[in-house]
Structure formats: C-alpha cells, structure tokens
Amino acid sequence: MEVTSTTTAQTATTTSSTDDSVISSDFETFLVMLTTQLENQDPLNPVDSADFAVQLATFSGVEQQVQTNDLLAELSAQLTTSGLSDYAAWVGKDALVTAPAYFDGAPVTLIPDIDTLADAAELIVTDANGTEVQRVSIAANTDVLEWAGTTAAGDPMPDGYYNFSVISYSEGNVLNTTTAEHYATVTETRIDDGTVKIVLSGGVALPATDVSGLRE
C-alpha cells in the first residue's frame, strides 16, 4: 500500500518536460523557417543584413535556452541522487509520520495531537477500509500513547493498516478532530518520479518531507 501526497513535485516535473518539448519544437521550427528563407530569397532583393543578424541572434538564443534546460535537468537529477544518499542513513530508524500504521502484533507508538483547552479526549481507530474498529477515552494531557492493538476483551486485532485520530472535548463539546502521528521503522529510501521517498515497515511509501521526527 502506498500513500501519496500532493503531487506538486510531479506537476513541476511534467511542466518542465513540457516546456523543454515546446522550446525544442520552436527551435526546430525556427531552424527550418530560416533555412527555407535563405533557400528561397530573391537574389536581387536579399534579406536585409540587420534583419538577418536579428534572426541569427534569435536562433542563438533559442539554442542556448535548449542547452540550458538540458543542463538544469542533469543538475536536478544529480542533486536528487545526492540527497538520496543522505536519506539512506534513515534506514533502520523510526520515523514520525501521519501515514497509515501497519500493525503486525507489536504495539504502535502514537503521538496524539490534543487541544490545549481540552479536558477530555478520545482515540478513534479505523481500519484500511475506513471502518471504525475502536474508540477509547484518553487523558487530555497524554503526550505519548502505546496502542496495543487489542479488543476490549483482550483479543489481538487482525494484522493490517490502521489510522488514528483524536477528538478533543471541553465540557462535553467537541473542540476539534486531529490525526495522530505514529512511529514506524524506515526500511528503504528511493527516488520515485524525482522525489525522495521513504518506505516504512509494512510497505507504506511517502515523501521524505512528510517525516516530522526521527528516533533510534
């Protein structure tokens, strides 16, 4: 299962590719037009030297733009690869994320985001289908919570992906509902569509920029 985020990086890559294609197309078109003009000009009334100089300058400018875009693309690829080596040090560490948590029987460490004005709170647990499977009361001052993944009867819940949210209350009124972060082990780092992504235990993949904390 892979979690996707806002596709800003993908859009930028697509836009850049489109721009390169347009510039290259314009460059080829300009070259053909210039060649055709030279082949078919009237020998008795040739192109004015000043106009021809402007056309050559335009030709040179377009050519340089194409080369610049190619160099920028190469530089971007090199920087991305360089960044990947930095993120490789994350493998084996626990990342703090809001992505779905994979439960395999081991407790999941949660960081609930409880409103500072709350006097009570509830943890809501939903499965991969969005179905609520558990709702438990937690103290309003809870900073860290270990979710055991067991039912009220003490039976273990099925292995799989779970999402966690927290409802904050004040005098019985709902203040807000937030998503609880959790720690998951980083098993891999990779480049996907030009974006450095991390893979968490259970297979969830997300941009490295979505990680808000790390621990050993």
Q: What is the pTM of this model?
A: 0.60
According to the model, what pLDDT value does residue 85 have?
74
Report residue 88's pLDDT band, with 50, 70 and 90 as the boundaries.
confident
Averaged pLDDT of the chain? 79
Taking the C-alpha atoms of residue 86 and residue 207, their distance in angstroms, rounded to an integer, is: 14
According to the model, what pLDDT value does residue 35 have?
74
According to the model, what pLDDT value does residue 8 have?
39
101: its two tokens: 């948590």
**DSSP letter string over the chain?**
-------HHHHHHHHHHHHHHHHHHHHHHHHHHHHHHHHHSBTTBPPPHHHHHHHHHHHHHHHHHHHHHHHHHHHHHHHHHHHHHHHGGGTTSEEEE-SPEEESSS-EEEE----TT-SEEEEEEEETTS-EEEEEEE-TT---EEE--B-TTSPBPPSEEEEEEEEEEETTEEEEEEEPEEEEEEEEEEEETTEEEEEETTS-EEEGGG--EEE-
pLDDT in tens, 113-138: 999 999 999 999 999 999 999 999 99
Taking the C-alpha atoms of residue 200 and residue 185, their distance in angstroms, rounded to an integer, is: 6
According to the model, what pLDDT value does residue 149 have?
93
- Confidence check: pLDDT of 54 > 80: no
160: its two tokens: 């799989």
Q: What are φ and ψ of residue 83, in 5° steps?
A: -65, -35
Report residue 44's pLDDT band, with 50, 70 and 90 as the boundaries.
low
Taking the C-alpha atoms of residue 210 and residue 197, their distance in angstroms, rounded to an integer, is: 9
Range with lowest mean pLDDT among 64-68, 78-82, 84-88, 112-116: 78-82
CB neighbourhood size of 8 (10 A): 10
Average pLDDT of the residues in 30-40: 70
Which of the two residues, 200 and 82, has the higher pLDDT score? 200
Report residue 183's pLDDT band, with 50, 70 and 90 as the boundaries.
very high
pLDDT in tens, 133-177: 999 999 999 999 999 999 988 899 999 999 999 999 999 999 999
153: its two tokens: 């009867």
Whole-number Cα distances in Å, 35 to 31, 32, 41, 78: 6, 5, 10, 37
- Confidence check: pLDDT of 16 > 60: no
According to the model, what pLDDT value does residue 2 have?
43
According to the model, what pLDDT value does residue 1 have?
45
